[in-house]
Amino acid sequence: MTTTARDRMLLAKDAARTIGLLTDADKRDALRAIADAIEAAATDVVAANRQDLERGRAAGLSEGLQDRLRLDEPRVAALADAVRDVAELPDPVGRILDERTLPNGVALQKVSVPFGVVGSIYEARPNVTVDIAALALRSGNTVVLRGGTAAELTNAALVEAMRGALAQRGLDPEAIQTVDEFGREGARELMSARGIVDVLVPRGSAQLIETVVTQSSVPVIETGAGVVHIVLDATAPLAWARDIVVNAKVQRPSVCNAVETVLVHRDAADRLVSPVVAALQAQGVTVHGDAIVSRLADGVVPATDDDWATEYMSLDLAMRVVDDLDDALDHIRRYSTHHTESIITEDAANAERFLAEVDSAVVMANASTRFTDGGEFGFGAEVGISTQKLHARGPMGLAELTSTKWLARGAGQVRA
Amino acid sequence: MTTTARDRMLLAKDAARTIGLLTDADKRDALRAIADAIEAAATDVVAANRQDLERGRAAGLSEGLQDRLRLDEPRVAALADAVRDVAELPDPVGRILDERTLPNGVALQKVSVPFGVVGSIYEARPNVTVDIAALALRSGNTVVLRGGTAAELTNAALVEAMRGALAQRGLDPEAIQTVDEFGREGARELMSARGIVDVLVPRGSAQLIETVVTQSSVPVIETGAGVVHIVLDATAPLAWARDIVVNAKVQRPSVCNAVETVLVHRDAADRLVSPVVAALQAQGVTVHGDAIVSRLADGVVPATDDDWATEYMSLDLAMRVVDDLDDALDHIRRYSTHHTESIITEDAANAERFLAEVDSAVVMANASTRFTDGGEFGFGAEVGISTQKLHARGPMGLAELTSTKWLARGAGQVRA
């Protein structure tokens, strides 16, 4: 009987040997079986979820978190459909990324291979349990999950269904592991499992990600917060400025690619501030402005220094007038979380300068920051949006869940 | 006046803004100026090195370490030439790695960009000071160096020469920083400089690398140890087996791609063990063998379990007879450091199975493990050999010192 989090991780590592060698067709079949099994287990999953919710309510879990946690039959069906979508994506493993023949005839190939074991630490969203497991398996990896304690029974029911589907197809069920029942100790073990777990993907609050990044000796892919900026340059057309800022704030305020701060060029302030603020307010947005913004538009809340560093994730937006593009770039350098920034301008030179100088995962000219998204980029699925520079930056697709390996085929060559 | 390691790192971060935007020609010029400056400073560098060596001798530094530390005029000239070689390499920045136009017309480009600030913690080899600085600058990065205390004066003289060359060309000399004079505290600051230093490359002993990997919150590229295996399959031709094993052990025993353990298929033991051992012994190699090897060849030292896990880095080699390919793969799974392994075989199916199943940075069939090298792979320069799976695996060239950035160019598009 498996008794420790470490035992579970070693089982995942062992299973990675066979999962990593599966064919494209095998992996697709496995995911389709998992999707079917999740649907078949819907009653059990919803029942487990009801227990989690009751426990959560008793413990004073907020309405918002309860909603994230809640699964009903249609939501379970949506989870299964998402797995079927992942099954249809092209296999990221076995791509030949480089090929060269050495002067002595040794043939080299750089090919994409699975990482091996992918770990994930996340909060009480049961959909992550299924998403990460499906993405990991599609890319030939096994997975060790540590979800929030609030979703423990729901996650256990989902994991049981997925493991059952693997076993039914003759695949190693140990490919999907959870360390939820080991609580915080499970998370600690996962963060110190260097040599067993190949990469750790935290998903959740800035605080959770910060904890994992600073405590983990397993390499981490950081999917960070977005203090996202839009710069309205001197030549920004009003229609673009208004439509893009409203879209970037209002369409889905709670996500990391939503804009938080708008910087307006001094020469455009008289022309743009009042109508852009009015358009935002018409959609229910509270604008936190500096002194000039407050003078140019009605109903603006005075901004404090904290506003510039805040990822509101709500219908709030900070707005400041800057002297020029240099001033805007300075502000971004100081406050950006290096996720996404956009400039609205008709000045091509300023657009190119902005694209070159801003040090963020995605830098845009004349487009909504909401486009920073694996689905929008055409990746078919999104593992997360990386705000680090190592390995992956920006929206991550299945390819970012693979590593590489060099293969060398010779005929007895030795080094001179 | 700069007074803390952190101040130095912040200067490097600030300098990264301008260094990252330099043209290819600017970067080449800068490196040529650095090469000239190192040659011009040869007398000062050698004098500083003499002081380091005297201090080292007084402190009981071993002859081997003294040799690594020693710089004379020809060695300084070789350092300068290495910088000139790096200048000639193609610019790794600004490559377009992916391009796609979204259905709404937004044009996306994924381009290679510098990391920003590259940190390196290494031991008393002054050549690393120059190598890492040159490679970092060539790829548009600035650099923070923490070399061994034993080479402190030598490194200071080299850094002074390189910074002088930058200033003379009108470039920001703060692009090259050392935190050597802050001792261990400098190393600690470097490992905790997440958000200032973008990537840390440790170079040196397994112990140094382990310390950095476990203590650093800055993302690390691990350039690890090599317990490298060669498998002599049942069908291994004697000439290939003998030549490759001897080459892989003897040509340069102190490097990470030298073979440490040879696994011989039981069915080939009678045919191969005696001549391969004799060929190794003729080159001065001590063979540590299991019972069968000891029986089949003369002068074999009995191997202990420790031998299988040892990176000798010397004219020692461990040899074991295995039952079959499965047994060999089990042994490798248990003891490999995931650097390089090679199989010698005429059985194409076994070769392909080995290539597919061995989980190492470089996996070979019928070639010497000594080919795992950036120079041999045609990269022109080598930053190190990564034994981790994130970002870079195997020999790293200049491209591995870059990150990526997505650029999006639109005309007012918003997300539907």
pLDDT digits (tens, 9 = 90+) for B309-323: 999 989 999 999 999
Q: Is A408 on the interface with B (CB under 8 A)?
A: yes
- Measure CB to CB from residue A415 to each of B219, B376, B389 and give the nearest one: B376
Q: What residues of chain A score a pLDDT lower than 50?
A: none
| Chain A partners within 8 Å of B378 (Cβ) | 100, 102
Both tokens assigned to A30? 């496995």
Domain of A233, CATH number, reads: 3.40.309.10
- With respect to residue A138, please indicate whether it lies within any of the assigned structural domains: yes
Return the bridge partners of A59, or none: none
pLDDT reported for residue A214: 87
Question: For A365, which of B113, B363, B410 is closest by C-beta distance?
Answer: B410
Dihedral sign computed on CA atoms, order B247, B253, B254, B259 = positive
Please report the pLDDT score of residue B277 as a whole number. 98
Q: What are phi and psi of A166, to 5 degrees?
A: -65, -45
Average pLDDT, chain B: 95
Establish if A382 belongs to a structural domain.
no
Query: Using CB atoms, which residue from A357, A372, A391 is nearest to B391?
Result: A391
Task: Identify whether A414 is part of a domain.
Answer: no
Taking an 8 Å cut-off on Cβ atoms, the answer to whether A404 and B394 are in contact is yes
Q: What is the CATH number of the domain that holds A129?
A: 3.40.605.10
The string of pLDDT tens digits covering residues B262-285 is 999 999 999 999 999 999 999 999
Question: Chain A residue closest to B14 (CA)?
Answer: A333
Query: Which chain A residues are within 8 Å of B393, Cβ to Cβ?
Result: 403-406
Q: Are A260 and A318 in contact (CB under 8 A)?
A: yes
Q: Taking CB atoms and an 8 Å limit, are B410 and A363 in contact across chains?
A: no
Q: Is B102 on the interface with A (CB under 8 A)?
A: yes
Does one domain contain both B209 and B102?
yes
| Span of B210-219, B265-274, B318-327, B394-403 with lowest mean pLDDT | B210-219
Could you say which of B366, B405, B413 has the minimum Cβ distance to residue A411?
B366
- Facing B408 at nearest CB: one of A108, A371, A404: A371
* B100 at A interface, C-beta within 8 A: yes
B384 within some domain: no
Cα distances (Å, whole numbers) of residue A15 to A28, A87, A142, B263, B273: 17, 20, 7, 25, 34
Q: Are A196 and A75 in contact (CB under 8 A)?
A: no
**Domain presence at residue B100:** yes
pTM of the model: 0.93
- Distance to chain B for A145, nearest Cα, Å: 19
| Residues A33 and A153 both lie in one domain | yes
Q: What is the pLDDT of residue A67?
A: 87
Pick B405's closest partner by Cβ from A243, A391, A393: A393
Q: What is the pLDDT of residue B63?
A: 86
Asked, for residue B379, whether it belongs to a domain, the answer is no
Q: Give pLDDT tens digits for B60-92.
A: 988 888 888 999 999 999 999 999 999 999 999
Looking at the structure, do residues A307 and A356 belong to the same domain, yes or no?
Answer: yes
B139 and B14, same domain (yes or no): yes
Binary contact (A360, B405; C-beta < 8 A): yes
Q: What is the DSSP string of A293-307?
A: HHHHSTTPEEP-HHH
Whether B352 maps to a domain, the answer reads yes
Interface test mutation site (partner B, options A390, A393, A404, max chain B beta carbons within 10 A)? A390
- Digit-coded pLDDT (tens) for B28-43: 999 999 999 999 999 9
Cα(B209)–Cα(A404) distance, integer angstroms = 22
Query: Domain check: are A214 and A240 in the same one?
Result: no
CB contact under 8 A, B389 and A115: yes
- The answer to whether the Cβ–Cβ distance between B366 and A409 falls below 8 Å is yes
A415 within domain boundaries: no
Considering only the beta carbons, identify the residue of A113, A362, A411 that sits closest to B406.
Answer: A362
Does the beta carbon of B198 lie under 8 angstroms from any beta carbon of chain A?
yes
In the sheet that B199-203 helps form, which strands lie side by side, from edge to edge? B176-178, B142-146, B117-122, B199-203
Residues of A in contact with B395 (CB under 8 A): 406
Pairwise CB contact (< 8 Å): A411 & B359: no
SS3 B285: coil
Give the pLDDT score at B405: 97
- B297 and B198 inside one domain: no
Interface of A with B in 201-260 (CB under 8 A): 213-214, 217, 219-221, 237, 239-240, 243-244, 246-248, 251
- Min Cα separation B288/chain A (Å): 23
Q: What's the whole-number mean pLDDT along residues B213-240?
A: 93
The 10s digit of each residue's pLDDT in B98-133 is 999 999 999 999 999 999 999 999 987 899 999 999
d(CA A27, CA A20): 10
Q: How many CB atoms lie within 10 A of CB B416?
A: 8
Question: What confidence score (pLDDT) does residue B2 get?
Answer: 57
**Domain check: are A195 and A239 in the same one?**
no
Q: Are residues B236 and B216 in the same domain?
A: no
Residue with tokens 């045919």: B271
For A125, B76, B343, the CA distances from B45, given in Å and listed in that order, are 60, 8, 45
User: Do B93 and B169 fall within a single domain?
Assistant: yes
Chain A nearest C-alpha distance from B360 (Å)? 7
What pLDDT is stored for residue A2 in this prediction? 56
Q: Identify whether residues A265 and A356 lie together within a single domain.
A: yes
- Alpha-carbon distance B332 to B189, whole Å? 37
Q: Give me the domain span that covers residue A367.
A: 228-371
Say if residue B195 is in the same domain as residue B105: yes
Residues A289 and A360 in one domain: yes
pLDDT value, residue B380: 80
* pLDDT value at residue A137: 98
Look at A403 and B413 and tell me if their CB atoms are within 8 Å: no
- Number of structural domains in chain A: 2
Chain A residue numbers with beta carbons less than 8 Å from the beta carbon of B377 are: 100, 102, 108, 406
Q: How many CA atoms lie within 13 A of A195 on its CB side?
A: 12
Pairing relationship of beta strands B384-386 and B394-396 according to DSSP bridges: antiparallel
The answer to whether residue B1 scores a pLDDT higher than 70 is no
User: Is the model's pLDDT at B379 over the cut of 60?
Assistant: yes
Instruction: For chain B, say whether A403 makes contact (Cβ under 8 Å).
Output: yes
